[in-house]
Amino acid sequence: MKTLLTLSLALLSIVINAQNPYVDFLKQNGSSPIDYMETLFQKKDLVMICERDHREITQYDLLYDIVSQDWFSEEVGNIIFESPSVSIQSELDDLLLANDLSDAQIEAKTKHIYQYLSFDVLWEKTNFYSFIMRVAQLNRDRSLEKKIRIIGADMKFSWKNIKTKEDYQDFKETLNDRDRAMAKNISNWYLSHKNSKALIIMNYRHAYGNIYWKKNRKTDNVGRYLKEEFPDELTNVFLNSYANRRYSIKGKFHAHKKWDLAFEANDNKPVAFALKDSPFGNDRFDDYPYIRIKLKWNEVFDHFIFYNPLSEHMISWGMDNIIDPEFRKELERRYLIIGKELTQGRINSMNKTIVYHDKNTPSL
């Protein structure tokens, strides 16, 4: 009887999946993310990927797989990230365009870059730190024309110029213009580097394209600004993640689990596809809970990449020994400026790498 029930359920699952337009689409369409990205860069100069939770680390394995391809160094060669300030660019170039650096030298230069990366007192996310070092190691023995550049898009800022609480407050008051400033920084780079291409990584809403708060009122997003300025040169890609809830930090599924169940029925194989004319693209856009009008996914993003099911997403923060005695004094100064105390507990949490399964990820 138990065997019969199991077989019946299995047959029912097969029938349901066979009638599922999402599963049918995945089995008949889509390419590997690597091949798909190569195809996009054959058509576009600027390809923007929407980063998951800043702390999620498996997405950076995908990013590294993309940029370590021969076609990427030969045809693209540039990665523009949200997190680094434009003010740290010379240090990034000094690391990534150098020749024959030892692992110790790469680590030391990366540590210094991270200590002054942005307007945060310390950007404690492990993934980008590791990514910078991996790219530096990849570049080490390459000729200059094949080295990969990492370019910062964030606002001009240097902790060396922040002396008082008032200095920091003055800067914070400019953050309302952050998306416009980042878009302008990317635009300036692109317009000054003719015939260049770049992979752009923006987190969450910054990567959104055509989206509105309500009718006739557009949102303030890097992706939207760049799409309007470069409609033929830029395309954007959503990387699978969970959706944020409005009143809770706990994540939820997109499209009421339909998507994730379809990926599971497709054996969770990595896949990439265009959202237009797909059942995924026709669903209501549900990644951002604050908009007041209905938009379809294909109105906000052009493409979709599935890479790792939600159950395999990992969170990581902290870097081993990022806070050495010299930098501790600087970090204490920064904490005083923002009106907080640098406790030993905070030091401990940032001064070692911590990795765990994302507790905000919902379970199927």
**Above pLDDT 70, what percent of the chain?**
94
pLDDT tops 90 at residue 234: yes
At residue 131, what are phi and psi to the nearest 5 degrees?
A: -65, -45
The pLDDT-based confidence of 151 (bands split at 50, 70, 90) is: very high
pLDDT at 250: 76
pLDDT tops 90 at residue 2: no
> How many DSSP H helices and E strands does the chain contain?
15, 11
Q: What count of residues does the chain have?
A: 364
Domains of the chain: which residue ranges?
Answer: 22-357
The pLDDT-based confidence of 248 (bands split at 50, 70, 90) is: low
Q: Using the 8-state DSSP alphabet, how is residue 176 labeled? A: G
The pLDDT-based confidence of 19 (bands split at 50, 70, 90) is: low
* Nearest-angstrom CA–CA distance, 222 and 39: 23
Which among 65, 3, 55 has a CA at the least distance from the CA of 33?
Answer: 65
What pLDDT digit, counting tens, does each position of 321-340 carry?
Answer: 999 999 999 999 999 999 99
* Nearest-angstrom CA–CA distance, 12 and 10: 5
Burial (CB < 10 A; 0-12, 13-18, 19+), residue 286, is: middle
Mean pLDDT of the chain, nearest integer: 92
Q: Model's pTM, two decimal places?
A: 0.93
Cα three-residue angle 154-155-161, rounded to 5 degrees: 125
Crossing angle of helices 258-265 and 21-28, rounded to 10°: 50
What pLDDT digit, counting tens, does each position of 270-298 carry?
Answer: 999 999 989 999 999 999 888 878 899 99
CATH class of this structure's domain 22-357: alpha beta
Cα three-residue angle 52-58-61, rounded to 5 degrees: 110
pLDDT at 16: 47
